[in-house]
Amino acid sequence: MEKDFEQLPHTADIKIRVYGSTLEELFANAVVGMFQVIRPLVDGCTVINDRVVCESLPIKRAVAVRSFDQISLMVDFLSEALYLSDVNNEAYLAAEVHELSNTFVSATLHGIKVRGFEVVEIKAVTYHDLEIKEIDGTWQADIVFDI
Amino acid sequence: MIWKLRKLMVHGKLILCLTFKYKKGYVMADQIIKREDLVQIDEYTYEIPSSYRPDMLVPARVFMNERMMDDVLNDRALWQLVNVATLPGIQKYAFAMPDIHQGYGFPIGGVAASAVDEGGVISPGGIGYDINCGVRLLVANMNTEEVRPYLQKLATRLFHKIPSGVGKGGKLDFAPDELDKILGFGAKRMVELGYGTEADLEFCEEHGCMAGADPDLISDRAKKRGSDQLGTLGSGNHFLEVQYVDEIFDESIAQVYGLHKGSVTVMIHCGSRGLGHQTCTDYVRIMMGKLPEWGYVLPDRELVYVPFNSKEGRDYFAAMAAASNYAWANRHLIGHWVREAWQEIIGESAQLNTMYDVSHNIGKIEQHNVNGIEKKLIMHRKGATRAFGPGRPENPAKYMNVGQPVLIPGTMGTASYVLAGTQESMDVAFGSSCHGAGRRMSRAQAKKSVRGSQLREELEQSGIIIRSDSDPGLAEEAPTAYKDVEDVVDVVTGAKLARKVARLKPLAVIKGG
């Protein structure tokens, strides 16, 4: 997979387009995109090509989320990562999805302690414009974050 | 994608529309409103008639002028306003204030009233994730020249004393029992704990304590996020600003508000932090699960709503009130620390009094006259400020005859405004006004057009002190990223939504440290 996510224009909030060769990869890349786009301030990591790159991500968080449908699952999954980030002062820059259906996801988030976020803090994951679709074998999701 | 010509029954109206299958609902294809879709009502009011889209229950009205039109039509804000016009129980119009821009669910600057007794609904997306985000204004007993020698030190002290809290929490951590009391009683509880004064409460919307708040309806997760974030600003467009009164437009009202030309003021802009964000997230999820039961057809899932008179509707309202109390406690605590910093640097004689504190992301139950009939309404104001005119019992006694202060934060390099609610405003848009300048440029565009370090230098050269440790954050909030606040305020006054009282210009801008 060449590109895992990119930022799209939005007047006030942050909108990203996430890519994945599988749905599992799409969900994992959505977590990475959500944190990379607000640039975590992390001691010992470097910024290369607008990405925070760390030699290791020592923190592991296991998450399991059940929801109503695929769209809600994406919102709830990312909201879970956001919640964990806020209460533990962490950012998750990699994720492995272990199990995924339209209504359930289990994953391990790999993260690191942060001092803050250089760009902005994400308040919430919204349903607005949220689409998950497959185009020529690549999964794609547009996600708007309230900031 | 499946295209269909569908017959829909929406609130008793048979409508025909061309739709495509979109998850479980149907959305019409064209999401951009064009100039020719708008009907000009008067110099400052434009309408999208309810015939524009078959599911609209009322027309949509936007307050703007010709100069602002390109910016307003540039994104999907008006499409979102049309979506608001489909809200069950909606009265008169779906309104957009002149600082309108694209949001999620409602546009920012959106105002809608849904009648409790006419199948009225409540929508968390019509209030926002940052429940009771708002503005508090403090007025100093000193003028600009008296404060100027202390400004550099003051800005540094404020920067270190008032944290952003982002990624690190704040300075205080409240135990669960204490947090529940704050959720129940807001700023009032903070006074009992020794922060701020009774006078701060008098000059605060809802006196800093919204009735009907139920801490038990705030999730443990939200409480966990909120336990150490009181007294923090957050990030984005939230700020603390030391300002001076640059111009007075209405001497008599300014006098009642305690504003004089040259007075120094401090403006605090922030909300309910992670506790509020989580509360909105929690209730959007609860309501999403109830959608099949209520059978509502939503043009945008972020608009999700439930009847106000349902368990979920009442629960959300009580939780939202509790999160609002948290936000008032937050601004109250920051105000207290600003006052401490002020006296640490200038001395004991330096006083700061709260002039007013307004919310611009909130739901309220209000009584309004709708075409001659008194109705109980669920008011949604998202990126919009209450602007009650003289005589409303909600106003502080001191301001009863002049109307409620409306606080409009501008951008870093321009100006903020103090307006006053008017009698006409009650009839025009249920006593509502704008909440800021309103963005016109995406954050990415802003960063491309201006470098944070360059902006910092330019602002400092023009005499504005900046304390912020994020250059990208500064660039995103560059004045050019916003509409001209003068235009926005001219429309607000021209449309009689509020009256101009005073203009405030920045002396020092502090983004949380």
Q: What is the pLDDT of residue B125?
A: 95
Q: Which amino acid is at B359?
A: S
Using alpha carbons, select from B157, B45, B6, B146 the residue that is nearest to residue B427. B45
SS3 of residue A24 by DSSP: helix
Q: Would the CB atoms of A12 and B439 count as touching at under 8 Å?
A: yes
Structural domains of chain A sorted by starting position, each given as residue range(s) with its CATH number in brackets: 5-146 (3.55.10.10)
The token duo for B302 is 């972020």
Rounded to the nearest angstrom, the minimum Cα separation between A139 and chain B is 16
Instruction: In whole angstroms, give the CA distance from residue B125 to residue B86.
Output: 14
The token duo for B474 is 């500064």
Task: Give first-to-last CA distance, chain A, whole Å.
Answer: 28
Q: Which residue has the higher pLDDT, B455 or B177?
A: B177
Nearest CA in chain A to B452: A119
| pLDDT confidence bin for B513, thresholds 50/70/90 | low
pLDDT at A102 over 90: yes
Rounded to the nearest angstrom, the minimum Cα separation between B76 and chain A is 9
Average pLDDT over every residue of A118-127: 92
Q: Would the CB atoms of B224 and A87 count as touching at under 8 Å?
A: yes
Residues 135-154 of B with CB under 8 A from A: none
Average pLDDT over every residue of A84-104: 97
Q: Would the CB atoms of A87 and B23 count as touching at under 8 Å?
A: no
Residues 444-463 of B with CB under 8 A from A: 444-445
B277, B368, B380, B435: which is the annotated catalytic residue? B435
Q: Would the CB atoms of A124 and B302 count as touching at under 8 Å?
A: no
Q: Would the CB atoms of A79 and B23 count as touching at under 8 Å?
A: no
Instruction: In whole angstroms, give the CA distance from residue B135 to residue B316.
Output: 23
Q: Which residues of B touch A13 (CB under 8 A)?
A: 103-104
Average pLDDT over every residue of B249-271: 97
Q: What is the pLDDT of residue B22?
A: 37
Rounded to the nearest angstrom, the minimum Cα separation between B412 and chain A is 16
SS3 of residue A41 by DSSP: strand
Q: What is the pLDDT of residue B473?
A: 77
Using alpha carbons, select from A74, A54, A57, A56 the residue that is nearest to residue A65. A74
Nearest CA in chain A to B383: A12
| pLDDT confidence bin for B14, thresholds 50/70/90 | very low
| pLDDT confidence bin for B26, thresholds 50/70/90 | very low
Residues 84-113 of A with CB under 8 A from B: 86-87, 89
Rounded to the nearest angstrom, the minimum Cα separation between A26 and chain B is 18
Is B34 in CB contact (< 8 Å) with chain A? no
Q: Which residues of A touch B130 (CB under 8 A)?
A: 123, 146
Question: pLDDT for B74-111, tens place per residue?
Answer: 888 999 999 999 999 999 999 999 999 988 899 999 99
Question: pLDDT for B345-355, tens place per residue?
Answer: 999 999 999 99
- Asked if residue B57 lies in contact with residue B84, where contact means CB atoms within 8 angstroms, the answer is no
Strand pairing category for B94-104 and B60-63: parallel
DSSP label at B70? H
pTM higher than the cut 0.90: yes
Rounded to the nearest angstrom, the minimum Cα separation between A110 and chain B is 17
Q: What is the pLDDT of residue B404?
A: 97
- Residue B394's Cβ-side half-sphere holds a number of Cα atoms within 13 Å equal to 23
Picking from A7, A76, A89, the nearest residue to B285 by CB comes out as A76
Picking from B280, B288, B470, the nearest residue to A118 by CB comes out as B470
Count how many residues are written for chain B. 513
Instruction: In whole angstroms, give the CA distance from residue B166 to residue B160.
Output: 14
Instruction: In whole angstroms, give the CA distance from residue A130 to residue A34.
Output: 14
DSSP label at B302? G
Question: Which of A6, A7, A10, A11 is best to mutate for the B interface (most B CBs within 10 A)?
Answer: A11
Is A76 in CB contact (< 8 Å) with chain B? yes
Element (H, E) at B407: strand B405-408
% chain B with pLDDT above 70 = 94
SS3 of residue A96 by DSSP: strand
Instruction: Give me the total of CB pairs closer than 8 Å, taking one residue from chain A and one from chain B.
Output: 121
Instruction: In whole angstroms, give the CA distance from residue B265 to residue B244.
Output: 6
Is B109 in CB contact (< 8 Å) with chain A? no
Put the strands of the sheet holding B361-370 in their side by side order: B39-42, B45-48, B60-63, B94-104, B106-115, B373-382, B361-370
Q: Is the dihedral of CA B94, B99, B101, B107 positive or negative?
A: negative
SS3 content of chain A, % helix, strand, coil (to 5): 20, 45, 35
Question: Which of A15, A115, A127 is best to mutate for the B interface (most B CBs within 10 A)?
Answer: A127
pLDDT at B7 over 70: no
Residue B11 bears catalytic tag: no
Q: What is the pLDDT of residue B482?
A: 82
Q: What is the pLDDT of residue B512?
A: 67
Instruction: In whole angstroms, give the CA distance from residue B28 to residue B217.
Output: 36
Q: What is the pLDDT of residue B379?
A: 98
Token pair 């017959």 is found at B7
Element (H, E) at B491: helix B485-494
Q: Would the CB atoms of A144 and B104 count as touching at under 8 Å?
A: yes
pLDDT at B3 over 60: no
Q: Is the dihedral of CA B103, B368, B365, B276 positive or negative?
A: positive
What is the rounded (10 degree) CA torsion for A122, A124, A127, A132? 50
Question: pLDDT for B40-78, tens place per residue?
Answer: 999 999 999 999 999 999 999 999 999 999 889 988 899
3-class DSSP string for B155-224: HHHHHHHCCCCCCCCCCCCCCHHHHHHHHHHCHHHHHHCCCCCHHHHHCCHHHHCCCCCCHHHCCHHHHH
Token pair 């699960």 is found at B289
Picking from A7, A87, A118, the nearest residue to B444 by CB comes out as A7
Query: Is this complex scored with an ipTM above 0.90?
Result: yes
Question: Which of A120, A130, A131 is best to mutate for the B interface (most B CBs within 10 A)?
Answer: A120
Angle between helices B273-294 and B311-346 (to 10 degrees): 170
Enumerate residues 6+ apart whose C-beta is below 8 A from A2: none
Rounded to the nearest angstrom, the minimum Cα separation between A92 and chain B is 13
Q: Would the CB atoms of B168 and A76 count as touching at under 8 Å?
A: no
What is the rounded (10 degree) CA torsion for A79, A85, A86, A87? 110
Instruction: In whole angstroms, give the CA distance from residue B437 to residue B230.
Output: 27
Q: Which residues of B touch A128 (CB under 8 A)?
A: 103-105, 300-302
Task: Give first-to-last CA distance, chain B, whole Å.
Answer: 48
Q: Is the dihedral of CA B428, B430, B431, B432 positive or negative?
A: negative
- Asked if residue B443 lies in contact with residue A14, where contact means CB atoms within 8 angstroms, the answer is yes
Token pair 């989320």 is found at A65
Token pair 């409508």 is found at B15
Q: Which residues of A touch B289 (CB under 8 A)?
A: 68
Q: Would the CB atoms of B101 and A12 count as touching at under 8 Å?
A: yes
